A = this chain, B = another copy of it.
Amino acid sequence: MNEETIRLLLQKIKQQDLSIEEGVERLKILPFEDLGFAKVDYHRNLRQGFAEVIYCAGKTAEQVVAIAEKLSAQGGGNILATRATPEVYAAVLERIPDAEYHSLARTIMIRRGKQEKIGNILVLSAGTSDLPVAEEAAITAEMMGNHVERVYDTGVAGIHRLLSQTEKLRYARVIIVVAGMEGALASVVGGLVDRPVIAVPTSVGYGASFGGLAALLAMLNSCASGVSVVNIDNGFGAGYQASLINHLGEN
């Protein structure tokens, strides 16, 4: 639509309905409005299967429902709502009957159209308590068109559980490592593979874990190359980044 605005302006110039000076004035303001939509169009319209995302924390159920309905009405790709409470899901469900909910990951999923999935993102988590974050990462990646393999409960204190997953490590294109406490899993995995590892520290732990700080620092100081880190408990961010990486092969 915005290109249309520029086109109309240029036509008015051409048809001498607008003076050149007026055109210059309008164009000095205009481009700022352009900019963003260019980006939005780019990734929304050109790439199939890309999900819209609603971050529910700090939004009312009404707000989430309104956004979800609007996105749903646009007829685009999948819609994903993260950090959604059961109450928010109940409200969404009333208006969008095919909305699904994953209570552990606290995500609402509204699947739309046929989406081709490419592979293969592996989500590893260290302990049972890391599951909500791991699932948020996994579901995010799935909703954005990726095959996701999950391998949970592979903490470094039982290194054999990790090592027994060699095949899965080998076939993954991108690996998401979710770990709290000392976050050592990221380094061990980073040393085993030549694939990008996205590390997600979790706030799982107590005492000197300081809400995930211990795992965060450990992951940032990983002695293994090929590890980068997202915020504490940011499963969505890891899934999103992994999807961007995984889709690079396509273009």
Q: Interface residues, chain A, CB within 8 Å of chain B? A: 3, 6-7, 10-11, 13-14, 16, 20-21, 23-24, 27-39, 42-43, 47, 53, 57-59, 63, 126-129, 155-161, 163-167, 173-174, 181-184, 186-188, 190-196, 198, 201, 203-234, 236-238, 240-241, 244-246, 248-249, 251
Contacts and interface: CB of A to CB of B under 8 A. Distances in A.
Nearest to A60: B128
A135 to B, nearest CB: 14
A232 B208 contact: yes
A3 to B, nearest CB: 6
B129 A58 contact: yes
B241 A34 contact: no
Nearest to A23: B10
Contacts of A53: 225
A241 B228 contact: yes
Contacts of A190: 157
A160 B32 contact: yes
Given A14-B13, A217-B217, A192 B159 contact: yes
A103 B241 CA distance: 33
Contacts of A23: 6, 10
Contact of A32 (B31, B184, B188, B245): B31
A161 to B, nearest CB: 6
Chain A interface mostly: helix
B227 A237 contact: yes
A192 B222 CA distance: 21
Contacts of A231: 206-209, 220-222
Contact of A35 (B39, B159, B227): B159
Contact of A244 (B28, B129, B163, B196): B196
23 contacts: A6-B23, A6-B24, A7-B21, A13-B13, A27-B31, A29-B166, A32-B165, A35-B160, A47-B194, A63-B128, A156-B156, A156-B191, A157-B187, A157-B225, A159-B159, A184-B188, A188-B188, A195-B244, A206-B231, A216-B220, A220-B232, A228-B230, A229-B230
Given A13-B10, A36-B164, A221 B194 contact: no
B196 A241 contact: yes
A211 B245 CA distance: 30
A205 to B, nearest CB: 5
Contacts of A182: 182-184, 186-187, 217-223
